[in-house]
Structure 1
Amino acid sequence: MIMTQTAVSTASRDAEHEPLLEVDDLKVEFRVGHGVVSAVNGVSFTLEKGRTLAVVGESGSGKSVTAQAIMRLLQTPPARVTGGRILFQGRDLLQLSESAHRAVCGEHIAIVFQDALAALNPVYSIGFQLSEALRRRRHLSRSRARARAIELLQLVEVPNASQRVKDYPHQFSGGMRQRVMIAMALALEPEVLIADEPTTALDVTVQAQIMRLLGEIQAEREMGMILITHDLGVVAEVADEVNVMYAGRVVEQAPVEQIFARPGHPYTQALLRSIPRLDRKGHQLDAISGRPPELTRIPAGCPFHPRCDRAEDICRSDPAPALRELAGGRSAACQFAE
C-alpha cells in the first residue's frame, strides 16, 4: 500500500505527539507473612518528550515502587505486578522478556537512585563503573570508554575529571557522588530519566546545583523526566506536571501552576499547608493529623478519610473515588474537589 504525502505527514505528527512513556492502571502488591501489601493501586500517567513529571507524597505512598516497576527492579517474590501496562514508545514493557526489557531500560530509560553511596560499588573506581556500560552496550574499547567516562564527569561538572575518574566512591562528597550517579544514568543517552529523590540528604546549595544540572541536560537532550521527591519547593521550580500519590493511588494530577494555585484534593491542600513559609515566621507549622494507612489494611472508601477534616459519610462508605476532571486541566480523586 502506498501512503500519500498527507498520510505520511499525519503519521509523523501522531508519532511526534505520542507519549514517551505511558503507565496505565498499574497495580503492584507484595505478599508478606502478615498479608498482602497493596503498594500501587491503579496508577496511570503519561510522560511527554522534554517534560518533567513530579511525583509527590508521603513515604509509603507508592512513588518509588512505581519507578522500580518501570525499571523491573522489584524483587519477585515478594513483589508482583498484578495488572496494568507500561508503554514505552508503544511497547508494553511488562510483556517483554527479561533480556528485551534490559535492553530497553539499559539504553532508553535510566534511573538515578536517592542513595548514591549504596548504589555505587565501593570496590571499583568511578571510571570503571562509568566505562562498564559503554564497553558492554556500545562495544567501545577500554581507552575510548575511559575517555567517554571523563567526558561524562565533565558534563556533570565534576572538577578535575581526568584525575577523579581513578577515584573510588568513598573519596567523593555526597553531592559529587550524586553527580557521578547522574553521569552513569546519562551514559547511554536515554530518552527517559527517572530521578528518585536525587537530592536527599544534600544541603540546599548542592540541591540547587544538582537540579540545575539535571534541568540543563534535560533541555539539551529533550529527555522526559520523572522526578520523585518530597520537596515541594523543588517541584515548583522544575516540574511541568505533578502527580500527588496517597496509599498507592494518584489522588491528584495537574499542571504545576494549578497544583499550587488551586489544589483540588484535601491531601494536596494539607501538603501545601505544611510547607514552611517566610511570611508565617513564628507560627506553628500545620501538620497533617494521623498517619498514612497500613497498606495491608487500607480503609474502605477514600483512603484519606481518617485524616481529612472534610470527610463525610459518603467518603467512608462509597468505593474510593476515581480521578475526575476539574477546571484548569486538573483531576482529583475526591467527592468534593472543585
Structure 2
Amino acid sequence: MTATDTESRTPAPTAPLLEVDDLQVEFRVGQGVVSAVNGVSFTLEPGRTLAVVGESGSGKSVTAQAIMRLLQTPPARITGGRILFQGKDLLALPETEHRAVCGEHIAIVFQDALAALNPVYTVGFQLTEALRARRHLPRSAAKKRAIELLELVQVPNPKQRVKEYPHQFSGGMRQRVMIALALALEPEVLIADEPTTALDVTVQAQIMRLLGEIQRERQMGMILITHDLGVVAEVADQVNVMYAGRVVETATVDDIFARPGHPYTQALLRSIPRLDRKGQQLDAISGRPPELNRIPAGCPFHPRCERAEDICRTDPAPQLRELAGGRTAACHFAE
C-alpha cells in the first residue's frame, strides 16, 4: 500500500453512520446454546471502509446478518446490545420499520450471488422489483434505471443483459448484478460479505475497484467482511479482527500490518504467502477454532497461542484495552 493510497482515504467525520454496541447473538440448538457473537462493538463513518476479518466461524457474517435482521429466529436470537443507524436503534424498531430502513439505507452484497439471485426471474425483473415497490416507479422508468445500474457496475451490453437470467452470467458478472441490486436504492451503508469469494484474482481486483469507485462517489460507509488480508490492505481504513465471536483487535489498516498487537492477528499475518519467502513453508496457526458451544475458559485463543501463560488459562477472557496509537487488543500481553 502506497502513501498516496493512505492520503486519499477519507478523513473520519465526527458523526458515525452506524454504531454497533455490545451486540450479542446466540443460537439455541440441540447441543445447547451457541454464543456466535459475544459483545461486538464498532462504528462506521460516511465514506470509510471497516474490514472485519477472521477465520470461518468467528462471527463475521452473523454480525452482518444481525444488522440486517436476516437471522432465522429460532434458532438465532439477539440477546443484547444496540445497532444504531444515524442515532436510531434498529433493534427497537418493529420489523416493518426495520425492513424499510434496511431496504433503503443499508444494503448487503452476499458472497454467493448464484444462490442469492432468483434463478427463475431475469436480472432486469429483480432490479426493477425493488424500484417499483420502494420508489413507485412505472415499469418503463424502472427498466431504464435497471439498465443504468448495470452500466454503473460495468456489465457489457446492459440493454440486452437486463433480459437474461442469472445462469447466463459468469461468476464475476453475477457479482456485479448483486452489487447493482444493493445499490439500486442508493444506500448510505453497504455490507459486502465476502464479495470476491470463488472469483479469480483479476475479477476480484475489478470488483473491489468498482466498489471503491462507487463508494467514493456516494460517500457510502462500507463494512467489508473477508478473510483475504490482501484485499484488506488495498481498500480498508479500519480493521476489526474477530475470533470466537469476539473482536480481539481494532486498528487502522496501516497499524494492523505494521504493528499487530494480538497474537492471533500476528499469526494471521504470518500465514499470508509472500514473494520474499518463495520456496519456504507457510506458517500455519496450530489447532483449530473452538466450537462456539464449548469456548475454553480464559482467553479463547490460548490453546493455539504460542505466548499463552497461566493467566491466559485461568483469568476471565481479556477485554479490549487501548494500546499506543489508538489501537486496541484483547490480550494480556499485547503491546
2:294 alignment partner in structure 1:
297
Residue 77 of structure 2: SS of its match in structure 1? Answer: strand
> Is the counterpart of residue 65 in structure 1 residue 62 in structure 2?
yes
Amino acid at match of 2:210: L
2:84 alignment partner in structure 1:
87
Distance 2:330 2:109 in 1: 30
1:108 alignment partner in structure 2:
105
**TM-score of the two chains, using structure 1 as the length reference:** 0.95
Q: How far off its partner does 1:83 sit?
A: 0.3
Distance 2:315 2:32 in 1: 24
Residue 17 of structure 1: SS of its match in structure 2? Answer: coil
Q: How far off its partner does 1:17 sit?
A: 2.2
Amino acid at match of 1:299: P
2:183 alignment partner in structure 1:
186
Q: How far off its partner does 1:336 sit?
A: 0.2
Distance 2:53 2:301 in 1: 15
Q: Alignment partner for residue 198 of structure 1, among 195, 199, 214?
A: 195
1:118 alignment partner in structure 2:
115
Q: How far off its partner does 1:18 sit?
A: 1.5
Q: Alignment partner for residue 244 of structure 2, among 234, 247, 252?
A: 247
Q: Alignment partner for residue 278 of structure 1, among 275, 279, 282?
A: 275
Q: Alignment partner for residue 321 of structure 1, among 311, 318, 322?
A: 318
Detail structure 1 runs of 4+ shifted over 4 Å in the superposition: none
> Is the counterpart of residue 78 in structure 1 residue 71 in structure 2?
no
2:166 alignment partner in structure 1:
169
Residue 43 of structure 2: SS of its match in structure 1? Answer: strand
**Alignment identity in percent?**
88
Q: Alignment partner for residue 18 of structure 1, among 12, 15, 20?
A: 15
Matches within 5 A, 1:214-293: 214-293=211-290
1:97 alignment partner in structure 2:
94
**TM-score of the two chains, using structure 2 as the length reference:** 0.96
Aligned length: 323
Residue 19 of structure 2: SS of its match in structure 1? Answer: strand
2:125 alignment partner in structure 1:
128
Once superposed, what is the RMSD of the aligned Cα atoms?
0.5
Distance 2:302 2:80 in 1: 26
Q: How far off its partner does 1:329 sit?
A: 1.6
Encode CA deviations 1:70-109: one digit per residue, 9 max, x unaligned. 0000000000000000000000000000100000000000
Long gaps (5+) in structure 2: 1-12
Long gaps (5+) in structure 1: 1-15
1:49 alignment partner in structure 2:
46
Q: How far off its partner does 1:206 sit?
A: 0.1
